[in-house]
Amino acid sequence: MKKIVIIGGGFAGINLAKRLSKNSEHEITLVDRNNYHFFPPLLYQVGTAFIEASNISYPFRKMFHGRNIQFFMGNLEHIDPLEKKVVTDNGNLNYDTLVLAMGTETNFFGNQQIKKYALPMKTIDDALELRNHILLQLEKSVRTAEPGIRLTHSNIVIAGGGPTGVELAGMLAEMGKNIIRKDYPEADVWPGKIFLVDGLPTLLAPMSKKSQNEAISVLKNLGVEILLDRLVQNYDGEKVSLSDGTEISSSTLIWASGVVARSVDGIPETSLGKSRRILVDEFNKVQGLQDVFAIGDQCYQTSDPAFPNGHPQLAQVAIQQGSLLGENLNRENKGKAWKVFKYNDKGSMAIISKFHAVVDLPKGFFKGFFAWLVWLFIHIIPIAGFRNKVKLSFNWIWSFLTNDPTLRLIIRPNSYTHNSSFKAAKTIPEKE
């Protein structure tokens, strides 16, 4: 049997593994650092205490019941293309065919100060860390009598005006509007603002002008301060410095400003393109290597006539590349020719706030409540597990009807509460 090792259990890796599992001639092993698959587009809702992390996560071993797919939990350390071996922190694996589908990681553009203090949004751990952090800053704010310190704990800065940044800003603005004053009645006036910063002259840069204008209009109506044509240059944990000299007091900087492909030790430099993406041919085979493929956000493919500068790093690209590579490997066993990858662009969408979303289709644009419903439906379909789909749907219905999701739990507080930094510099005097 042909040994096929897949590194990464995201959209690309999962769709490849499922397609390959239909062929009993393959011995398939999927490697991932976590024991679960999760749905990245909804991470921001976990981070803002809107849904549970379990709603968008599903264990690999349960997912693979009844399929000829083995799961191997481990971190990739390096690959050896000559010996056809994968080295992980939990042991080695030999392969006949290797597929890299590890996705991306947060790009801090070499700024170590921002990397040290900013909050990324790429993993379940990141989302839970953000939820804890925001809730703890609110607790600090109401414990503080000093106006300047209260403002620092209340302000939230989001770097990056793409879909993640826009969706985060909208969700946090809704949270401030509907929840904070009820949860924290001791704060007579809430001083904090949400700042959305981007280096481009508009939000949602990859989308249509109509979507961009709608996002700006809705967020401004929610009270979000939009700062365009400027970059976050520095951050020390309490003050955000922008490229135009603006300084914002804030203990929360959420970094949604860019990604870079995960590095793979063993891939030659000549096989790497911009942002560390791995160069592949029209069949997703890594240039310069034998029997090694890369799919999804990690690869850079320029052979598609409609996308000569590479495909966008979207879930649909990863799903389609994973499915086609699985089909091609199955075709190879039957002696059939491989199919060239061509991305079928089905459009893009972003949710801005409750009842407001934008949808760009190849032949049109629509917005508002109907776009919001379409966004919800489209994001329910890929969720792994029927139970998760039902739970997520119920949580959404309850939260949207009541404007009050009940998930504001600080579930990992020890590292914060046992740290002296949790204590406010000056607390409000006790009432007699």
Residues with catalytic roles: 167
Report residue 322 as tokens.
């994973």
Locate all alpha helices (DSSP H) within 144-185, ordered by sequence: 147-154, 163-175, 181-183
Beta bridge partners of 92: 87
Report residue 374 as tokens.
């379409």
Report residue 205 as tokens.
């840069």
Give the 3-state secondary structure of residue 287. Answer: coil
Provide the 10 A C-beta neighbour count for residue 71.
18
- The residue among 348, 349, 347, 331 whose CA lies nearest residue 339 is 331
Contacts of the segment 398-401: beta carbons below 8 A, 24+ positions apart:
399/50, 399/51, 400/354
Report residue 73 as tokens.
């939990």
- The residue among 174, 167, 158 whose CA lies nearest residue 226 is 158
Burial (CB < 10 A; 0-12, 13-18, 19+), residue 408, is: middle
Which residue has tokens 């995960």? 262
- The residue among 124, 209, 215 whose CA lies nearest residue 162 is 215
CB 329 within 8 A of CB 97: yes
> Read out DSSP for 190-251?
----EEEE-SSSSSSTTS-HHHHHHHHHHHHHTT-EEE-S--EEEE-SSEEEETTS-EEE-S
Q: Give the chain's largest Cα–Cα span.
A: 85
Size of the chain, expressed as the number of residues it contains: 432
For residue 226, the one-letter residue type is I
